[in-house]
Amino acid sequence: MKKTIARRTFLHAGLSSAFAVSLPSRVWAAELPGDITAMTALQLSVAIKAKSVSCQEVMQAYLAHITRHNPVYNAIVSMPAEETLMAQAQKADDALARGEYQGWMHGMPHAVKDLQPVAGLRFTSGSPMFADRVAEEDSAMAAKLRAAGAIFIGKTNVPEFGLGSQSYNQVFGPTASAWNPDLTSGGSSGGAASGLGTHMLPVADGSDMMGSLRNPGAFNNIIGFRPSVNVMTGIESEPRPLSTSGPMGRNTADTAALLNTIAERPLAGELRALDLDSVKLAWMGDLDGYLAMEEGVVNLCEDSLNLLGSVGAVVDAATPSFTLSDLWLCWTTLRHGGRASMRRYWEDTNTRKMLKPELAYEIKESFSITEEDTANANRIRHAWYRELDRLFNQYDFLVLPTAQVFPYDKNLSWPRQIAGRNMDTYHRWMEVVIYGSLGGLPIVNVPVGFDSQRRPMGMQVMGRYGEDKKVLEFALAYEGLTDFLERRPELVSAA
């Protein structure tokens, strides 16, 4: 049952300092939605704290929505029994009645990406090898979410071991885009993004090595934020890691609130929309034809950049002074070399047959990589750091399309061609995301709209290493300039 909730109650509820950091006051200027699942995560948080809705009502609303739509989209997997979740929601209500408030996620349903363990839940990593594994304890991230009051309603679907920007596996099958259940949600945080786009989740966590927070963000018309690689760990390391965890949200404020929950280095101070007047952006497009792009991708990005230009932002066409094929060599050397830790799955004939071909390919590639190869890749990477510094001395942000293709058939493992050009490896079609990953940069996917088939797309906005707040403040300003995040897909219900 939908419940109408008085705005006055929210205005007097107040916010804790923990998430006032991320909440612009304009969120509260309009009437709040009566449908619980339509509330933003921060709106829902305040509603629960103010006791305008109970945690049981929230859980009932989300479980009903999931029952209607998850069989179609397959975003959330390994869910506990409904009575178990309702009992946890009752405990959260009882705690509030006693004046015990855990944090801004108190009583909020949450599903963790299935590359992270959560005590008592299946932990498959999308692999048939671990189809029946149950985690004995929380990961560090899950523990932070639990401490903030989240109730774990399951896991979000992933590709096998998180490899590939297509969230399918032999355990659960493929996950669909919120905008078309026949198309892929992207990956590897595909279940998280689809869960957000379909409103089966208020907010979601993910991770990103090769666009895994960004591609799904674009394919589901949501925000995906890859932090600087030291933000989640709190550790400075050299060279910078290629992968990091991060947050996703239906809007920028929710995304920032989750970042502050899971990060070792939360944002400092209040998040404010960046003044776009005279902000300088380097638009790199298809890198002067180096990258194959499906027709329409670049045009949608340029439409948004023209809109930014109309409010005073400076947008220049720019291309790095770098041999781009060297960066691909660097990337594949380091990525494939990192699969050495998985060689045991190839060497064991019982597990080898369970590997999907793409993972088997990367493991086999790791055998040929020498120490000299790795040293050369790191030399290239350090030269790339210097080139990024040069670019950021001229520009506030570097901008590229988030993906080279629109969402495609969810039963296709990966695109073999883009614009008539053959993709020589299963991950060549994602090459557009490696430039930020190699730099360890903070990167946000912001939506740029839809093509004639209503397929969503986004652009990745990259900031200087360590300038995470500035990147999110740009996203907040961009969100205020466009209406893409306010658009909703026409969801398909299970029969």
Domain chopping of the chain, boundaries: 7-318+395-486
Beta strands in 189-292 (DSSP E): 203-208, 223-226, 244-249, 280-283
3-class DSSP assignment, residue 457:
strand
**One-letter identity of residue 96:** L
Q: Return d(Cα 410, Cα 375) in angstroms, integer.
A: 38
pLDDT the model gives residue 31 = 57
Q: Which two tokens mark 268?
A: 């400092």
Number of H helices, E strands in the chain: 17, 15
Torsional class of 168: left (φ above 0), alpha (ψ -120 to 50), beta (otherwise): beta
pLDDT the model gives residue 13 = 35
Predicted TM-score of the model (pTM): 0.94
3-class DSSP assignment, residue 417:
strand
Q: Return d(Cα 281, Cα 304) in angstroms, integer.
A: 12
Q: Return d(Cα 160, Cα 126) in angstroms, integer.
A: 4
pLDDT the model gives residue 33 = 78
Task: Note the Cα 62 to chain centre separation in Å.
Answer: 20
pLDDT the model gives residue 32 = 65
Task: Note the Cα 123 to chain centre separation in Å.
Answer: 19
| Packed helices 41-49 and 55-73: angle between N→C axes, nearest 10 degrees | 150
Pick from 224, 249, 258, 256: which is nearest to 103 by CA?
A: 258
Q: How many CB atoms lie within 10 A of CB 137?
A: 10
Q: Which two tokens mark 75?
A: 């975003």
CB 196 within 8 A of CB 163: no
CB 193 within 8 A of CB 167: no
Please report, in tens digits, the pLDDT of each residue of the chain (495 residues total). 333 333 323 333 333 334 443 343 333 434 567 899 999 999 999 999 999 999 999 999 999 999 999 999 999 999 999 999 999 999 999 999 999 999 999 999 999 999 999 999 999 999 999 999 999 999 999 999 999 999 999 999 999 999 999 999 999 999 999 999 999 999 999 999 999 999 999 999 999 999 999 999 999 999 999 999 999 999 999 999 999 999 999 999 999 999 999 999 999 999 999 999 989 999 999 999 999 999 999 999 999 999 999 999 999 999 999 999 999 999 999 999 999 999 999 999 999 999 999 999 999 999 999 999 999 999 999 999 999 999 999 999 999 999 999 999 999 999 999 999 999 999 999 999 999 999 999 999 999 999 999 999 999 999 999 999 999 999 999 999 999 999 999 999 997
Q: Which two tokens mark 176?
A: 């669909």
CA 415, 419, 424, 427 torsion: positive or negative? negative
Q: Which two tokens mark 208?
A: 């990103």
Q: Return d(Cα 2, Cα 247) in angstroms, integer.
A: 28
pLDDT the model gives residue 366 = 97
CATH of domain 7-318+395-486: 3.90.1300.10
